[in-house]
Amino acid sequence: MSSVPLPILFIMAVFFTFWLILRKFHRLEQKKRALPDLAGYLDANKQAEARCSACDCTEFKDEGLSHGKDARRIISCARCNTLLYRFDPPEQPG
């Protein structure tokens, strides 16, 4: 048997599991923030109008970058959920 008590092993396993979950979430957020804008997406894929580069679908869904009501939007394919590009609203003079 191990000399480390069972509750300590359990707590270590829980922390390790949460660390893995947070790491996966952080990588997804980094991937979203690194998406090009619409013009960059069209240039990179040599397209005249936006369509999915994975399945050629023209139906999109959008979600907020950090939360549902965020003005910065992430556009993804409605069919295959591929992340496509981001939309940042123009800066308002204040």
| 78 domain-assigned | yes
Q: Which pTM was predicted?
A: 0.72
| 27 domain-assigned | yes
| 93 domain-assigned | no
| 55 domain-assigned | yes
pLDDT in the model for residue 2: 67
Distances (CA, A) of 58 to 5, 16, 73, 91: 57, 40, 17, 28
Look up the domain containing 83 and give its range.
6-87
Residue with tokens 């690194």: 34
pLDDT tens for 35-72 read 999 999 999 999 889 899 889 889 999 898 888 788 88
Residue with tokens 């204040």: 94
| 1 domain-assigned | no
Number of domains present in the structure of the chain: 1
